[in-house]
Amino acid sequence: MRLLIGTHIANAYQSLTANRMRTVLTMLGVTIGVASVTAILALMDGAVNLVGSQINQLDGNIAVIRSGAHKAKDNFSLSQTQTQYSTTTLTEDDLLAIQDTKHLAAVAPLMNLRTSLRAYGETLDGTNHSVVATTPDLIKIGHIEIRDGQFIDSVSDANTAVVGPQLAIDLFGTEQAIGKTLRIRDQAFIVIGVLKRTNNPVNYNDVDFDRSVLVSLESGKAFTQNVAQIQQINLKADTKEHLPAVVASVKKTIKENHQGENDFSVLSGQEIAEPTSALFRGLSLTSAIVAGISLIVGGVGIMNIMLVNVAERTREIGIRKAVGASNNDIVWQFLIESLAISLGGGLAGFILGYIIALGASAILPFFPAFSWPIALTAFLISVIIGVTFGMYPAIRAAQKDPIESLRHAQ
């Protein structure tokens, strides 16, 4: 069967450029729809990659232990929020028990306290800042670096703290905070180090280190009646190859500690990022679907304009049939025209979507990611819209009676 694709494309080009304004306005409908979907998906990928890439940067020999059983991968829910309010099952005992695991290079607990901070006249109420009690090993496995001074260590005074740069500014008005004193519940701490800015409020530690005070686990326990409430324990194996072995033996140790209950999870690799990623993905897909509704509006616009096109060119259809065009030829001619509109609009929307996403990233903590699946999605959406909404006008065109059409006024 001859499809005459080239001819139809040339024809569509001619017809669409003849009514430039109309074509552009019709395309705009698709452009807006594809742009919003593209922007949302690009930002979603950016957010998902954010946590994932941190894991990758850590040479793949990191694992974390979290309270509660591990959620199934595809079962995204908002229960992450719930775990914030449940009491942790991880104890200091667990921490001590796994210290001696073979091939374990570093281990650090994270005990996150939200309480108020004071320094001189300034008070921070703890809504945007956190106090993290941990051990000196965190510097090796927390994806953080020291900018000034030193990290907390086992030999320094218990009442010392390391602060994040933003917290230093909020509290002291300067990042030069070393030697200054801050108060946590009237307990004075001397700042011995300032962290390098991470600009990473979303990370696998669930802590924004830029806005945190790090103190030793001992000091932290003092605020909770000497019981460590550990949300997460970070582990590091000496090599990537030993990580599975470390994870297995840690699992075994803690399970014994917990009388055989699986009320904790040891995550490694991309699993660490999963709860955060799943949350982002779920939210983004929901918004992408909502944005997709606007595509239907774009599609209706295409159908509308194609029906006008067919009506205007009734005579031409008659002529084409008289000189030998079959119904299929006519269907293809108009279908390719509507495809040209939707693909043109889709391409513009794809580009516009990335421009929007880049613009949005100025106020978001991550960059949009470029990925082929997004490009493919935009392309497929365009094709589906073009075919779905172009089919009816095209079939109507093909079914026109040639004699009636030839009689039709120009």
Partner 1 sequence: MVSNKNTPVIELRNLTKRYGLGASEHYALNGVDLKIKKGEFVAIMGPSGCGKTTLLNILGLLDRSNDGEYLLDGKNVERLSSHRHAIIRSKHIGIIFQNFNLVPRLNVIENVALPLTYKGVSHTKRLEKASEILKSFHLSEREYYMPWQLSGGQTQRVAIARALVNEPSLILADEPTGNLDSKASHIIMRELSDLHKRGNTIIMVTHNPDLTSYASRVITMLDGHIATDTAMRKPKKDSSIKRPLHTAKEEK
**Interface ranges with partner 1 (CB under 8 A):** 2, 4, 6-7, 14-15, 18, 315-316, 318-329, 402-403, 406, 410
In 262-398, where do the E strands start and end? Answer: 264-268
* Residue 12 or 131 having the CB closest to partner 1: 12
Q: Of 63, 393, 83, which is closest to residue 249 (Cα–Cα)?
A: 63
Q: Is 184 helix (H, G, I), strand (E, B) or coil?
A: strand
Q: What is the nearest approach in angstroms of partner 1 to the Cβ of residue 407?
A: 9
* Residue 18 or 21 having the CB closest to partner 1: 18
* Residue 92 or 316 having the CB closest to partner 1: 316
Q: What is the nearest approach in angstroms of partner 1 to the Cβ of residue 322?
A: 5
* Residue 311 or 322 having the CB closest to partner 1: 322
- Which whole-number Å values give the CA distances from 235 to 244, 250, 403, in the listed order? 12, 9, 81
Distance CA 23, CA 250 (A): 64
User: Do residues 250 and 264 lie in contact, with contact meaning Cβ atoms separated by under 8 Å?
Assistant: no
- Residue 355 CB partners (closer than 8 Å, separation 6+): none
Distance CA 368, CA 371 (A): 10
CA 242, 247, 248, 253 dihedral sign is positive
Q: What is the nearest approach in angstroms of partner 1 to the Cβ of residue 385?
A: 26
* Residue 4 or 383 having the CB closest to partner 1: 4
Residue 268 dihedral angles phi and psi, to the nearest 5°: -140, 165
Q: What is the nearest approach in angstroms of partner 1 to the Cβ of residue 315?
A: 7
* Residue 17 or 81 having the CB closest to partner 1: 17
Q: What is the nearest approach in angstroms of partner 1 to the Cβ of residue 302?
A: 20
Which amino acid is residue 354, in one-letter code?
Y
Q: What is the nearest approach in angstroms of partner 1 to the Cβ of residue 28?
A: 24
Q: What is the nearest approach in angstroms of partner 1 to the Cβ of residue 275?
A: 58
* Residue 6 or 121 having the CB closest to partner 1: 6
Number of CB atoms found within 10 A of residue 125's CB: 11
Distance CA 338, CA 12 (A): 8
